[in-house]
């Protein structure tokens, strides 16, 4: 049994490694578009898992397969509100500061990030930049709030991991991953930090 953690790339690596060992992924933003499953109801092959539905509620790493889908949703939401969307592309850590500064020069007053392992690893730097430039920042992952960010709204990841364990249990009891539907979350959480990181002097 392989449990593939956070992110599409992790699940794809597990999928590339074996066609026989059962795989349960815990968080893939677009499992069909990424070619991991055939459909959500009948994933096929040796893989199933959880789809966090992040595109509907949410910085950007364009190399992450989920980003293109999420970006389309963000653009649609911005258009509906007649808001301008400035994209900050970050493929490597050293691009973060210059990308945010480019958005500021274009008139950005707020910031949100898409679910991505690279951006999650840069959460402290992102929070510091948001505070320094007095940007309203909302995140899709509570780890940003834990690190000093203002607020997050997204999937309750603890529930995802508990549910992944239940899927593992089903497989160990004889069910085939191909026959276990990919599940979407049923619980979301709004976290507000009463003491967000203060702006830099």
pLDDT tens digits, residue range 110-135?
A: 998 877 778 889 999 999 999 999 99
| pLDDT category of residue 195 using cuts at 50, 70 and 90 | confident
Q: What is the pTM of this model?
A: 0.73
Residues 6+ apart with CB under 8 A from 101: none
pLDDT band at 54 (very low <50, low <70, confident <90, very high): very low
**Quick one: tokens of 109?**
């007053």
Closest CA to 139 of 168, 111, 105, 170: 111
Radius of gyration over every alpha carbon of the chain, rounded to an integer in angstroms: 18
Percent of the chain with pLDDT over 90: 52
CATH architecture for segment(s) 55-154: 3-Layer(aba) Sandwich (3.40)
CATH 3.40.50.2300 fits 2-52+157-187, yes or no: yes
Q: pLDDT, tens digit, for every residue of 66-97? A: 666 677 777 888 888 888 888 888 889 999 99
Token representation of residue 181: 């539907």
Query: pLDDT category, 56, cuts 50, 70, 90?
Result: very low
What residues have CB less than 8 Å from 171, skipping those under 6 apart? 1, 22, 24, 177, 180
* DSSP assignment string, 74-88: HHHHHHHTT------
* Structural domain boundaries in the chain: 2-52+157-187, 55-154
| Per-residue tokens: 10 | 């992790």
65 falls in which pLDDT band (50, 70, 90)?
low
pLDDT band at 64 (very low <50, low <70, confident <90, very high): low
Report how far residue 26's alpha carbon sits from residue 3's, in angstroms, rounded to the nearest whole number. 7
């Amino acid at each position: 049994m392989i449990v593939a953690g956070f992110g599409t790339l992790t699940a794809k690596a597990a999928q590339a490694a074996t066609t026989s060992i059962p795989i349960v992924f815990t968080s893939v933003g677009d499992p069909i578009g990424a070619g991991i499953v055939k459909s959500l109801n009948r994933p096929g092959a040796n893989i199933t898992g959880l789809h966090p539905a992040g595109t509907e509620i949410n910085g950007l790493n364009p190399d992450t397969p989920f980003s293109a889908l999420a970006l389309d949703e963000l653009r649609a939401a911005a258009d509906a509100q007649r808001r301008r969307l400035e994209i900050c592309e970050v493929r490597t850590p050293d691009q973060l500061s210059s990308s945010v500064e480019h958005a500021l020069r274009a008139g950005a007053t707020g910031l949100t990030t898409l679910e991505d392992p690279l951006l999650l690893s840069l959460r402290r730097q992102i929070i510091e930049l948001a505070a320094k430039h007095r940007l309203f920042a909302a995140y899709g992952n509570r780890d940003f709030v834990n690190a000093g960010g203002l607020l997050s709204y997204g999937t309750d990841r603890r529930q995802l991991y508990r549910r992944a364990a239940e899927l593992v249990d089903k497989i160990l009891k004889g069910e085939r991953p191909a026959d276990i539907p990919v599940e979407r979350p049923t619980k979301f959480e709004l976290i507000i930090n009463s003491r967000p990181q203060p702006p830099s002097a």
